[in-house]
Structure 1
């Protein structure tokens, strides 16, 4: 049996804070609630139909032939699957680990055009950089439209400490607005010194002249990735995670006709997937699959690591981020509110490719020093304030003339091998949809595929699972109709959209204890770990509706606890394992394995041995 773990000190403090916050909540009598429900015309959505089981998806992959098989379940691969299936192509996708397990869950959580790329475009008269920014700004608006529950517009402040910077940054953000055109989110604006300090109280006021504020988008990246996958499944795509491609198969003519895949989570073993087209969308592992096709091929990716850290929420305002436009080494760093905490990053260093890269202390210290620079005299920045830290590997397209990764354009590249392997490499989260569209266009043209619905992409107008009927007030309906705690209702609404009602249907009402827990104070659902709003019902939902098959699938990608607080995720790990073991019939050996692999993963997220 996996060992139990002691309760860390952070949990007691967090629980007291949560208890204090909850003490002011008002309960509404059952009769009054019923009257409110009668006046309100909202109708609870029916429980969503479950997607095809993993076994059913395996059987389809073994027995059917597809127009294309996508290798890789990150942002790009999932976008390709959704694009292809909505055009009427028959598509399969396999991911050797979990959806968004790599770069796609380790981003800065921004949906942005790239203000630094615009600056380079102007100063270097670089039309390629200009086009990259323009494309990303237009895609940014589509991104927010198709998944409004997972995204929002975020004001980002650029503090100004010298007078000459005011007109310089002002012209820059206005060009940013102009490039966005009708897809602009909100107009940028200027703040006086006092207004800047009102908006960002922890900002160092020494020599501060004022600030410029512009808008970009913010997202929950892995939830977005999973939503893309499950929307594609809902449309008819055949998709499996924890299924590794071990070989590319070729016909007598030397052209690819499918892949050999291995089920790494179940007992399906190794099997063939037949397809007219094989798409390589493996991000940092792009060259590994290309060498599986041709061992002599030259690398096209230049991997770069980007480290982020998570700090307590008091390091930033709840609804405004900050951009450091000139760090000590000439790059930019963001400080952003995210999921109740503060995200700070990122770095940019050449790296080696590994499955779970570990952030270096040097990179963590670099980010902390930049934070100190901006909150000097206001907040004591401590290493122990780092709740989580991670390193993501950017799959940058290699420029043979570039001397460092900072000068590489985050653009994308589509290539074909002699045997027909289609590779999509590079790019960033914001432009995943455009990249997917171009890739499917290329597959149709090269292989003569026949879409049954549309020859052109329709994904600009495809709302993702949970977006339909969702509004910013959906959480109120969850409170009133499902008897959920307000904090839990807000969390479910902003992570599952209208599907939150299906999650709530899996939650149970606790039994009242006379004299201890009166009926009037009960709310639906059991939290996995206080003070976090994650319910055991979410874990059940992730298995039934989102193909979560490991504890880390849930803790890192269906919810974000591993990214928000590695020590808290460590404490929640045994509880999650027990919930999943009951549903998936795990034996003691599997539970022990889940604990050990879970701890190993959490080390890559900043877990310290002293947290155990």
Structure 2
């Protein structure tokens, strides 16, 4: 890399770390981001795909007169608006409908959602309204009809989390940030009791490198406590971990581009049934868990979601109909031992150790930008950096700077054009230009061979699942189809990355092991 000295080093390449890298680099600080796996491989690619203020937090705020909850909603709605403007190719308005089965719920829910609109102010995405019983049955023919009295409609945002993560990193690169996946921090270096750098192992080459900086930011999400203990063995835990799973079903279960939100299941949880990438996304569970690099989807969680689908739909869905499923771990700020994880406010805390390690604990995707701004401001004050103002509030992310959703792209069909723009924004033509002959990778999906090459050259892809799971999201919507094109993806990668046959077989074995076990 030429120079191993940096103003700021960030550990963690998910939503929070990538946001911090962009904020720091765009202020002019020499920035390095290190991620031990692929970018957004953990929680940041396993969300419910919603950009939201948090309707359930608002209900809690009103019931308990809790200003912390209220401010969390207000902040979330501000950041929702910014995200929709700064990355319109990856974020969009989403209509959500809640079915109601008791008359008293109609004014109650409508009043709450109207307040949600009022808090949004000029940033509101639409006005909430009551939906009649007949209209509900027309819109959602499979919905449980017995006892249905009406519904309420409101608006939030939807987004592609893994691709947004990459867009953040690409934008950070424009400001000269260096972003490295598969680089694991193994230890810290110290000078006079203060952190002075990190020892890092490149998990692809096996090389160990030292990078120097007095400002190290721990933004590793669910692994935050683990990094804090690496710095100080006596560090106390600051996280409560909660696992949540999602399942993907055929679009026939949600034929409209409108989602359903069940605000309170039998055990008080929130359930979403959402349109996503041409499929039906259902989630999520909420269970206390322990740290796991690749958390597994359990039969208990699958049964929970299928059971609740039966409660709210006049149909029985067989487990064999699940196209894909995944589990993520939410990093929640630790609460009193008596609290359940679903009652914890997903806010965040910024703290530092005696040696100077800065850690950000908790948070959620919607507020990643605000969190990043606060962390960099914290570092500026703590380490007496020259103060440069944050510029990310109105900063267009890569893919959205010259976006024209109606443009045509040479060499591809209208369907493929629409798909490429939705994934790569104004870089869609660059993707198409990556190969001389464009070919589809799978007969049922618009993926093309050019994407693999582009993602290797521009989007940090080093392993087949980097592309299949996180750049294209194919594995997340159809596991079997991604297995079908694995060999084609591997052949392209072998050529582009000059792999030996032995390397190819090793990567294939590793990919199949993960596909069969975790995704």
Same fold (TM over 0.5): yes
Q: Counterpart of 2:327? A: 391
Q: Counterpart of 1:458? A: 391
When residues 176 and 604 of structure 1 are mapped into structure 2, their CA distance, relative to the original with a 3 A threshold, is: farther
> Gaps spanning 5+ residues in structure 1: where?
1-58, 510-524, 607-612
Match of 1:590 among 492, 497, 503: 503
Match of 1:354 among 292, 298, 311: 292
1:244-294 per-residue CA deviation (whole Å, 9 max, x = no partner) reads 00011110x201111111111125x11110112000000000011000100
Q: Counterpart of 1:209? A: 149
1:370-405 per-residue CA deviation (whole Å, 9 max, x = no partner) reads 1122221xx441111101111100001101354321
1:336 aligns to 2:274 (yes or no) = yes
The answer as to whether partners of 2:4 and 2:210 remain within 8 angstroms in 1 is: no
Q: Counterpart of 2:36? A: 96
1:434-489 per-residue CA deviation (whole Å, 9 max, x = no partner) reads 000000000000001125xxx22110111111102213323xx12xxx13122211
The answer as to whether partners of 1:89 and 1:450 remain within 8 angstroms in 2 is: no
Separation in 2, partners of 1:234, 1:574? 33
Separation in 1, partners of 2:36, 2:379? 23
Separation in 2, partners of 1:160, 1:321? 15
When residues 403 and 322 of structure 1 are mapped into structure 2, their CA distance, relative to the original with a 3 A threshold, is: same
Separation in 2, partners of 1:591, 1:549? 12
Separation in 1, partners of 2:517, 2:345? 27
Separation in 2, partners of 1:603, 1:302? 28
Shift of residue 230 of structure 1? Answer: 0.9
1:70 aligns to 2:10 (yes or no) = yes
Separation in 1, partners of 2:214, 2:246? 40
1:429 aligns to 2:365 (yes or no) = yes
Q: Counterpart of 2:204? A: 265
Provide the TM-score with structure 1 as the length reference: 0.83
Match of 1:532 among 442, 445, 457: 445
Separation in 2, partners of 1:574, 1:500? 24
1:41-85 per-residue CA deviation (whole Å, 9 max, x = no partner) reads xxxxxxxxxxxxxxxxxx14xx23111100000000000000011
Segment of structure 1 superposing worse, 187-196 or 92-101: 187-196
- Structure 1 residue matching 2:485: 3-state secondary structure: helix
Shift of residue 587 of structure 1? Answer: 1.1
1:475-494 superposed matches below 5 A: 477-478=408-409, 482-494=410-422
Match of 1:568 among 444, 461, 481: 481
The answer as to whether partners of 1:334 and 1:346 remain within 8 angstroms in 2 is: yes
Separation in 2, partners of 1:507, 1:316? 36
Separation in 2, partners of 1:138, 1:238? 29
Shift of residue 604 of structure 1? Answer: 4.3
- Structure 2 residue matching 1:226: 3-state secondary structure: helix
The answer as to whether partners of 2:456 and 2:462 remain within 8 angstroms in 1 is: yes
Separation in 2, partners of 1:164, 1:448? 56
1:148-200 per-residue CA deviation (whole Å, 9 max, x = no partner) reads 00010000000111111100000010111111112111111111111122222
The answer as to whether partners of 1:402 and 1:408 remain within 8 angstroms in 2 is: no
Q: Counterpart of 2:186? A: 246
Q: Counterpart of 1:297? A: 235
1:136-535 superposed matches below 5 A: 136-251=76-191, 253-267=192-206, 269-376=207-314, 379-451=315-387, 455-474=388-407, 477-478=408-409, 482-509=410-437, 525-535=438-448
RMSD of aligned C-alpha atoms? 1.2
> Gaps spanning 5+ residues in structure 2: where?
none
Shift of residue 202 of structure 1? Answer: 2.2
Separation in 2, partners of 1:272, 1:605? 33
When residues 154 and 529 of structure 1 are mapped into structure 2, their CA distance, relative to the original with a 3 A threshold, is: same
- Structure 1 residue matching 2:242: 3-state secondary structure: strand
- Structure 1 residue matching 2:441: 3-state secondary structure: coil
- Structure 1 residue matching 2:442: 3-state secondary structure: coil
Separation in 1, partners of 2:434, 2:209? 35
1:348-382 per-residue CA deviation (whole Å, 9 max, x = no partner) reads 00111111111101101110111122221xx4411
Shift of residue 605 of structure 1? Answer: 4.3
Separation in 2, partners of 1:317, 1:144? 24
Provide the TM-score with structure 2 as the length reference: 0.98
Shift of residue 566 of structure 1? Answer: 1.1
Q: Counterpart of 1:46? A: none
Separation in 2, partners of 1:302, 1:326? 22
Separation in 2, partners of 1:587, 1:385? 38
Separation in 2, partners of 1:363, 1:553? 26
Q: Counterpart of 1:110? A: 50
The answer as to whether partners of 2:28 and 2:175 remain within 8 angstroms in 1 is: no
Segment of structure 1 superposing worse, 580-589 or 595-604: 595-604
